Structure 1
C-alpha cells in the first residue's frame, strides 16, 4: 500500500505487506469433471465387456452346432409321438447347485437318478412335463454305483406315470435311446448304440455329446424299457458322444 508524501511516517511502514498468496492454503487439486466422467466410462465399459463375454459364452455352450444338431434330431424322433408317454415319466431334478435328470419307476413317484446329482443338496425339486413341481427327499443313495432313489413329498395320492425296468441287459451293438435335460434344454432324445459293456459300466455311443444335465437320464431299449442310467461322459468322448451308463444289473442290485 502506497503512502502519500504528506502523511506522517508510521513504524509499521517499515514492513512490507505480504502477498495474498501467503494466506492461501496448499490444497490437493480435485479431479476434474472430465476425469471423473472418463473413470465412469471406463468402469462401465469393463462391466459391459464382462457381461457380453458371459452371455457369449452361454450362447456358445448352449446353442453351438452340436446343441442345435441334437435339438433337430430330438424333434425328428419325437414327431410321431412315440416318446410322449416317456416324457411324462422323465423328470428334471433341481438342487441349489445345479440340475440333472431322473425318471419315475413306480406309480407312487419314486425317482431314480444319479447320486452325484443330489449329493449334499439342501433342497431337491422334481419337475414333471406337465409343469407340476414336487419337493423330494433321498430314500437311498450310493456313491459307488452313483445311484439315488428319491421320494416325492406331499403328492396327495397322485398316480405317476413310470418307466419299466428291462428284464434283460443291453449288449454291445444294441440300439438304445437316451432322454434327458442337457444344458438348458428339456426332453432331448438321442439315438445311440451300446458300444462296450463291462461289469461296472457300459459305454453308450449316442449321436451327440453327453452334456451337463444328462446325468440321471434313462438308457432305453427300442421297446422303451430302462437298461441303464447315464452318469458321465467318457474322457475324450466329447465329439463322438460317448457316455458312460450304470448297467442294468447294478440298477437292479441297488433297487433290491
Structure 2
C-alpha cells in the first residue's frame, strides 16, 4: 500500500508559480521606480544581451506550456474555483476558511466557532515558533495552539476575538460513494481556492487508529487543513494528505469529522 504524502512534486505547476512570481516582482519594482521618479538604469550591451537571452528562454518555456496548461489539473482547478466562487453559498463558506502561517510555511484552517476556534492539521503547526491566521475579510490574528491530536493529524487553535465567520460541523454524516463534495483551501501560491471532488471509499492507513476517507479531487500542497463540505455546506472532514491508491490513482485523503467530535467530547 502506498503511504500518504503531505507534499507532491509539482514541477510544471511550480515553474508556472515561479514565472508569475517573477512577473509580479518585476512589475512591482518598475512601479516603485516610477513612483520615485527614477529612470531605469542603462545596461551595458553584454548585460542587456544576457537579460534578453534569459527572457527569451523563459518566454519560450512558458509558451510551450500554454498548449498543456489547461490539461494540468493544478491549473484546471483555477477555472473550477472561479465558477464555484460565483455561488453565494461558496462565497459565504470562504469567509471562514483561513490561511495558517508559522512564519516558514503555510497551510489551511477553518473557524468552527464565532469566538475564534480554528481547526487545522497537526503537521501544519508542528514545531511552530509563531502562529497566525488570516481571515479573508477580518485580517490577520495571532493564534495559540490549544488542542493537538498528532495520531490523527488534527489541531485546534484559538484566536482572540469574537464575531468570526464559522462553518457548521456535520454531526453524523453518511458517506456515499460518488457523492459530490466541495473543499476550500490555499494550495500552491494561491489562497481561497474552492474546488470539488467525488467521494470514493474509506481506507485504513498504516499506524493510524481511525479509518480515513478517500476522494477523487485536485488536492495539492497547501490544502492541508482544508474543510470538506457536503451539499448542505456542513463540514464532513478535514484534508490532510494525498496518496496513490489502485484503481483510482492519486486521491485526496481526509479525516472524517466524527473523529474530531469524538476527540473533543
TM-score by length of 1: 0.70
Distance 1:236 1:100 in 2: 24
Correspondence for 1:172 among 162, 170, 176: 176
Cα deviation for residue 253 of structure 1 reads: 1.6
Unaligned ranges ≥5, structure 2: 1-45, 204-209
Distance 1:107 1:130 in 2: 14
1:227 aligns with 2:236: yes
Cα deviation for residue 131 of structure 1 reads: 5.1
Distance 1:148 1:99 in 2: 14
How many residue pairs get matched? 200
What per-residue deviation string (whole Å, max 9, x for no partner) do you get for residues 109-165 of structure 1?
100000000000001110011151000010010110100000114x3xx31111111
Paired residue secondary structure (2:83): helix
What per-residue deviation string (whole Å, max 9, x for no partner) do you get for residues 84-124 of structure 1?
11111110101122110000001101000000000000011
Structure 1: 4+ residue segments shifted above 4 A: none
Structure 2 counterpart of 1:250: 259
Structure 1 counterpart of 2:212: 201
Distance 1:66 1:175 in 2: 18
Paired residue secondary structure (1:234): strand
Distance 1:80 1:89 in 2: 15
1:211 aligns with 2:211: no
Structure 2 counterpart of 1:29: none
Cα deviation for residue 188 of structure 1 reads: 1.1
Structure 2 counterpart of 1:37: none
Cα deviation for residue 236 of structure 1 reads: 6.2
1:137 aligns with 2:126: no
Distance 1:196 1:172 in 2: 8
Structure 2 counterpart of 1:25: none
Structure 2 counterpart of 1:112: 119
Distance 2:145 2:163 in 1: 20
Relative CO higher for 1 or 2, CA cutoff 8 Å, sep ≥ 6? 2
Rg (Cα) greater in structure: 1
Paired residue secondary structure (1:117): helix
Structure 1 counterpart of 2:102: 95
Structure 2 counterpart of 1:36: none
Structure 1 counterpart of 2:5: none
Structure 1 counterpart of 2:163: 159
Structure 2 counterpart of 1:23: none
| Larger proportion of helix | 2
TM-score by length of 2: 0.68
Contact 1:147 1:254 in 2 (8 A): no
Contact 1:210 1:241 in 2 (8 A): no
Contact 2:244 2:250 in 1 (8 A): no
Contact 1:89 1:128 in 2 (8 A): yes
